[in-house]
């Protein structure tokens, strides 16, 4: 559950104001900021994920090289995918706190406009 959902001080906005929020510069900026994290993170994970298949397909001898006992490079590479996934998740938690703060600001601004009408 995000901080916005748990935070009771988040302003409420009328349903009709959602279109105004979606068309606002602040909301478009929020979406752009989110994309600057999400798109590169997805690309990095996808390339890392596909690199294992490429390694096994095009360099099977390298992939089957034993590092420690029966543990191969391919096995270590596959395990590293868990580490990369957890790292991206941890980085997203940090970024999401900033996204949540911007969301609260957008909703507060919308609530102020609604109260002024």
Q: What is the pLDDT of residue 86?
A: 97
- In tens, the pLDDT along 2-34 reads 554 555 566 666 666 788 888 889 999 999 999
> Rg (Cα) of the chain, in Å, rounded?
22
Which residue segment(s) compose the domain that 50 sits in? 37-117
DSSP conformation class of 54: H
Assess if residue 18 is contained within a domain: no
Assess whether pLDDT exceeds 90 at residue 40: yes
Show the tokens assigned to 111.
């609530």
Q: pTM for the whole thing?
A: 0.75
Assess if residue 64 is contained within a domain: yes
Pairing of the two strands 66-68 and 71-72:
antiparallel
Assess if residue 78 is contained within a domain: yes
- In tens, the pLDDT along 58-111 reads 999 999 999 999 999 999 999 999 999 999 999 999 999 999 999 999 888 888
Assess if residue 93 is contained within a domain: yes
Assess whether pLDDT exceeds 90 at residue 53: yes
The answer to whether the beta carbons of residues 14 and 110 sit under 8 Å apart is: no
Tell me which H or E stretch contains 72.
strand 71-72
Looking at the 3D structure of the chain, how many domains does it have?
1
Assess if residue 53 is contained within a domain: yes
């Amino acid at each position: 559950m995000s901080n916005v959902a748990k935070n009771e001080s988040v302003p409420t906005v009328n349903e009709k104001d959602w279109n105004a929020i979606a068309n606002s510069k602040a909301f478009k900026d929020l979406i752009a900021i989110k994309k600057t994290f999400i798109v590169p993170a997805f690309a990095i994970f996808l390339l890392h994920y596909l690199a294992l298949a490429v390694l096994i397909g095009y360099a099977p001898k390298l992939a089957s090289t034993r590092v420690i006992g029966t543990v191969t490079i391919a096995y270590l590479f596959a395990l590293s995918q868990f580490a990369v996934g957890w790292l991206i998740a941890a980085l997203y938690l940090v970024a999401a706190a900033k996204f949540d703060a911007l969301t609260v600001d957008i909703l507060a601004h919308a609530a102020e406009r609604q109260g002024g009408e």
